Amino acid sequence: MGSTAARPVRVKDVTIGDGRPVVIVPVLGATPAELRAQVVGLSGRRVDVVEWRVDHFAALTDIPAVLDAARALVRLLGPVPLLVTCRTRTEGGVADLDPQSYGELLSALASSGAADLLDVEHRRPGDVVAGIVTAARRHGVKVVASEHDFTTTPPAEEIVRRLREMQELGVDLAKIAVMPRSRADVLALLDATRQVSEEHPEVPVITMSMGPLGVVSRLAGHLFGSAATFASAGTASAPGQVDVEGVRTVLDVLDRAQGAGAAREPGPA
Ligand SMILES: O=C1C[C@@](O)(C(=O)O)C[C@@H](O)[C@@H]1O
């Protein structure tokens, strides 16, 4: 274990990074009406955080329209925190923004109070990333640094290095999604997750191995140290996402099994 203490992130009534997996569900509407319908469709489902994938929004370059839509979502969600993510093309999303426009949009979102959490791609230019993080800090918005590799899985040491690089940006959470080509790749992702969450728990990590091979990381990643999992409700935002009910069922089973295991542990069999 590292010498520093875990620092779970508190957003509204949700705690991220205390060992219990947080379920995040993306919405991908192109218009405010589509987004509204998707969020209404989530009511009664066990969703901890909603992610707005703003890169799918038709008026992405119209900052006031984006802020209006974000505010409407926050009102509709009530106690459920909103994570706003603008996934660029290079990271597997649909936004085609130059670094300056990316920085302006995210800084505006950070300053507007229209997001509880903001995803920041740490591979954008350093000054752009720093500007967004500063704006978010000033306005009490939590930052999730992120990186995506839709073709490969780097070796575990490299995943560790990238997660550490993100943790050191002064953000609240560090996230990495990678694509496995083998079972060994899935293990590499899980092992890197274990290592960073044990040695550097001060910034919780969110990790996933994508596609069908990586599904186990979405269902049991918390047992290796991942603080959250992305689950779908309707349209998945990445390959391998399982529907929210399926994820909840598995998490409940694992939770019960762990409780039973803990109760048995002290005595001899
Ligand atoms: O970063 C992530 C993780 C993700 O890519 C996944 O694999 O579940 C889904 C995205 O919507 C989100 O922004």
Q: Total structural domains in the chain? A: 1
Task: Determine whether the annotation assigns residue 241 to a binding site.
Answer: yes
Say which residue, 193 or 263, is predicted with more confidence.
193
Cβ(93)–Cβ(133) under 8 Å? no
The Cα–Cα gap between 144 and 115 comes to: 12
Rounded percentage of the chain residues whose pLDDT exceeds 70: 96
The closest-lying atom of ligand 1 relative to the alpha carbon of residue 177 is: 7
Residue 263 within a domain: no
Cβ(157)–Cβ(185) under 8 Å? no
Residue 264 within a domain: no
Which residue type occupies 2? G
Give the CA distances from residue 256 to residues 27, 204, 253, in Å, rounded to whole numbers and listed in that order.
30, 24, 5
Q: What is the pLDDT of residue 264?
A: 63
The closest-lying atom of ligand 1 relative to the alpha carbon of residue 53 is: 11
Rounded percentage of the chain residues whose pLDDT exceeds 90: 91
Indicate whether 1 pLDDT > 50.
no
Segment 181-208 mean pLDDT: 98
Give the CA distances from residue 27 to residues 38, 95, 115, 234, in Å, rounded to whole numbers and listed in that order.
6, 15, 14, 9
Under the banding of pLDDT at 50, 70 and 90, the label for residue 267 is: low
Mutational test site, ligand 1, from 16, 56, 82, 87, max ligand atoms within 8 Å of CB: 87
Under the banding of pLDDT at 50, 70 and 90, the label for residue 260 is: confident
Of 56, 142, 175, 200, the catalytic one is 175
Q: What CATH code is carried by the domain that includes residue 177?
A: 3.20.20.70
Is residue 148 classed as helix, strand or coil in its secondary structure? strand
The number of helices, as runs of H, and strands, as runs of E, in the chain is 8, 10
69 CA from centroid of ligand 1 (Å): 21
pTM (two decimals): 0.96
Residue 269 within a domain: no
94, with CB counted inside 10 A (0-12, 13-18, 19+), is middle
Residue 77 within a domain: yes
Residue 38 within a domain: yes
Under the banding of pLDDT at 50, 70 and 90, the label for residue 4 is: confident
Residue 167 within a domain: yes
Segment 83-94 mean pLDDT: 96
For residue 223, give its domain range.
9-257
Cβ(123)–Cβ(166) under 8 Å? no
Indicate whether 266 pLDDT > 70.
no
Segment 96-120 mean pLDDT: 96
Strands (E), the chain: 9-11, 14-16, 22-27, 49-53, 82-85, 117-121, 142-149, 173-178, 205-209, 228-230
Pocket of ligand 1 (CB under 6 A): 26, 51, 53, 85, 87, 119, 146, 148, 175, 177, 208, 210, 230, 237-238, 241
Residue 137 within a domain: yes
Segment 38-47 mean pLDDT: 95
175 has catalytic annotation: yes
Segment 235-257 mean pLDDT: 96
Q: What is the pLDDT of residue 192?
A: 98
Residue 77 in tokens = 């969600």
Task: Determine whether the annotation assigns residue 87 to a binding site.
Answer: yes
212, with CB counted inside 10 A (0-12, 13-18, 19+), is exposed
Q: ipTM surpassing 0.90, yes or no?
A: yes
- In this predicted model, what pLDDT tens digit does every residue of 130-144 receive, in sequence order? 999 999 999 999 999
56 CA from centroid of ligand 1 (Å): 13
148 has catalytic annotation: yes
- Alpha-carbon torsion angle 104, 107, 144, 186, nearest 10: -10
Q: What is the pLDDT of residue 265?
A: 61
Under the banding of pLDDT at 50, 70 and 90, the label for residue 263 is: low
Under the banding of pLDDT at 50, 70 and 90, the label for residue 209 is: very high
Residue 161 within a domain: yes
The closest-lying atom of ligand 1 relative to the alpha carbon of residue 210 is: 7
Indicate whether 269 pLDDT > 70.
no
Indicate whether 268 pLDDT > 80.
no
Q: What is the pLDDT of residue 6?
A: 86
Cβ(139)–Cβ(78) under 8 Å? no
